[in-house]
Amino acid sequence: MLEQFKKHLDKFIKVSDDEFTDITGYFEPQTLKKKENLLTEGQICKASYFVLDGIIRKFFINEKGVQQTTEFAIENWWMTETFSYINQTPTEFYIQAVQPTEILVIRQNAFNDLMENHPVMEKYFRMVYQKAYAAAQMRVKMLYEHSREELYRQFLKNQPAFLQRVPQYLIASYLGFTPEYLSEIRKKNFS
Amino acid sequence: MLEQFKKHLDKFIKVSDDEFTDITGYFEPQTLKKKENLLTEGQICKASYFVLDGIIRKFFINEKGVQQTTEFAIENWWMTETFSYINQTPTEFYIQAVQPTEILVIRQNAFNDLMENHPVMEKYFRMVYQKAYAAAQMRVKMLYEHSREELYRQFLKNQPAFLQRVPQYLIASYLGFTPEYLSEIRKKNFS
């Protein structure tokens, strides 16, 4: 598992085996059951999560009481609720395992110590957040530009592997429509 | 002008006067006329922009041929088209001055050299991107959660100073409705 994290880091920065061993000391492995929550509305987010195996998602509960998924993270992706994390304010989001999932957790204090003691990790997280911001920027554009149905077609085109792994009702939740509507669109697209 | 940038940096990192002098060598000041473009659709984004004075915005042209504003940057904010910048692919966005604007430009090569020679700037940009990502995450949530009219009320509540500085037609463009519709909502809100 840690080998996988090393391979991932190697894509961004150069870290010797000794330094990597030290770096891993800042992380804790955690195993999540399906639907287990890492964060619930009202809590203050005090950690970041790196997915080793499985899928986690971020969602909020909208005015109608419906779960609206805004983000997924699969292997080698990070997830945290950055707004709550930075400002130390109660979150409006949930972070939850979609299926049994293995993650690495880094708590905020450990993160700050890691930055202090291994500045090379600043470069790594600068690039991680740069990529996350780039994706979010394109997400905002898509939400402005496309109808819900077009969003589904885009998703189908850009993320086919994802679609096969995530249950239909969560895809619907991500795209902002009911499972019934998704089912209708799917019939239309495949007929 | 550079004093302002130093004050801004001081909020994030510790940089001596000597190091700051060296850091500024990686940036170029630039003066923009109203509606001057820094980036146009189809170009590859090769720089990041820091606003010293004025306002710039990011927009794309939607299927109906209408400018859809997705982001503004005022004093002490950064702007770039991160997706194009990272992937070196043609951008779908424009970056344009809303009014006469003073900026600092850092080109991609200079940026990479700066990270190499002044690792403390990795920390700074890690925090800048972390904040940008946090804002984008909340933006995605707002776009899912609120009707256009509610978005305007939120904007009015959270960004009153902004509303006074940006022309009405650009606020409309940011919120995704016509200037006429904005005018109607304003009448309703102030009556």
What does the domain layout of chain A look like in residue ranges?
2-108
Of A70, A115, A123, the CB nearest to B115: A123
Which pLDDT score, from 0 to 100, does residue A28 have?
97
Q: What residue in B sits closest to A119 (Cα-Cα)?
A: B119
* Min distance B92 CA to chain A CA atoms (Å): 10
| Chain A residues contacting B via beta carbons under 8 Å | 60, 62-63, 68, 70-71, 81-83, 85-87, 92-93, 115, 119, 122-123, 125-126, 129-141, 143-145, 176
Cβ-based contacts of A138 with chain B (< 8 Å): 83
* Min distance A176 CA to chain B CA atoms (Å): 7
Burial class (CB in 10 A: 0-12, 13-18, 19+), B11: exposed
pLDDT of B48 > 70? The answer is: yes
B131 contacts A136? CB cut-off 8 A: no
Structure confidence by residue, pLDDT tens digits, B53-81? 999 999 999 888 889 999 999 999 999 99
Cβ-based contacts of B82 with chain A (< 8 Å): 130, 133-134, 137
Please tell me the CATH code under which domain B2-108 is placed.
2.60.120.10
Exposure class string for A128-166: b at 16+ Cβ within 10 A, else e: bbbbbbbbbbbbbbbbbbbeebebbeebeeeeeeeeeeb
Round the average pLDDT of chain B to a whole number and report it.
Answer: 91
Q: What residue in B sits closest to A116 (Cα-Cα)?
A: B123
A135 contacts B132? CB cut-off 8 A: no
The list of chain A residues with pLDDT below 50 reads none
Which pLDDT score, from 0 to 100, does residue A117 have?
97
Task: Indicate the pLDDT class of residue B181, thresholds 50, 70 and 90.
Answer: confident
Q: What are the residues whose beta carbons fall under 8 Å from the beta carbon of A77, sequence distance 6 or more? A: A50, A51
The residue among A133, A9, A26, A13 whose CA lies nearest residue B127 is: A133
Which pLDDT score, from 0 to 100, does residue A162 have?
77
Which pLDDT score, from 0 to 100, does residue A137 have?
92
Which pLDDT score, from 0 to 100, does residue B190 have?
62
Question: What ipTM was reported for this prediction?
Answer: 0.90
Task: Indicate the pLDDT class of residue B185, thresholds 50, 70 and 90.
Answer: confident
**Whole-prediction pTM value?**
0.91
Check residues A50 and B172 and name the one with the higher pLDDT.
A50
Residue B7 phi/psi, 5° resolution?
Answer: -60, -40
Average pLDDT, integer, range B102-120: 97
pLDDT of B191 > 60? The answer is: no
DSSP annotation of B167 reads -
Task: Indicate the pLDDT class of residue B173, thresholds 50, 70 and 90.
Answer: confident
